[in-house]
Chain A
Amino acid sequence: AQSVTQLDSQVPVFEEAPVELRCNYSSSVSVYLFWYVQYPNQGLQLLLKYLSGSTLVKGINGFEAEFNKSQTSFHLRKPSVHISDTAEYFCAVSDRSTLGRLYFGRGTQLTVWP
């Protein structure tokens, strides 16, 4: 069975600082990994996804993530954050057996201060 651990429930940073949101997964098979962003009282928007190939994945809004199979991690990074990046971020995992079902972590609230 798949599971996702997001180690930080809240991450406060100042504007223009770099940020890393951590995600670790557990699965016995090859996985597909996703990062979603949620703004208050809205649905989820896909930031980026890893399906196969290059382990460094670039997404929207300047975010990127690196798939590390040996460490079972898929951390999200941005070199310089903006106030508009304040939101909740979710890491999710699926695989061929899950028929598109995504299993999410508990989320990380990123707050960017001026």
Chain B
Amino acid sequence: SQTIHQWPATLVQPVGSPLSLECTVEGTSNPNLYWYRQAAGRGLQLLFYSVGIGQISSEVPQNLSASRPQDRQFILSSKKLLLSDSGFYLCAWSVPLGGNTEAFFGQGTRLTVV
């Protein structure tokens, strides 16, 4: 069966420090991968998605970047964190079909920038 791992679960980082959040998927090949952010009272916002190794699309301009160095690995990064980067970050995957499939979510990372 497929599983998705996301770490760390919680993170407190000072403003201006770098960030690296990692997500890996097991039990499937060539998944679509996604990073979402959940800010208080704002629902889930899609940040990045990837349909293959090295293929990253950004949904919104921001202080973050994403990379997919391997088929089932998705990394969210920042060179210098801002206070506004605080939130709950969720990684997700779906099978590579035309939209008629649900996304499967990791357990999330609570990031607090201080």
Contact = CB atoms under 8 A, between A and B. Distances in A.
A92 B95 CA distance: 17
Contacts of A96: 98-100
B16 to A, nearest CB: 26
A102 B108 contact: no
A42 B6 CA distance: 11
Interface string A10-52: 0000000000000000000000101010000111111001011
B96 to A, nearest CB: 7
B87 to A, nearest CB: 13
A97 interface: yes
Contacts of B46: 101-103
Interface in B37-70: 41-46, 49, 51, 59
A49 B45 CA distance: 20
B41 A102 contact: no
Interface of A: 6, 9, 32, 34, 36, 41-46, 49, 51-52, 90, 94-107
Given A96-B98, A100-B94, A101-B49, 14 more contacts: A32-B100, A42-B107, A46-B104, A96-B100, A99-B51, A99-B99, A100-B49, A100-B97, A100-B98, A100-B99, A100-B103, A101-B46, A106-B42, A106-B43
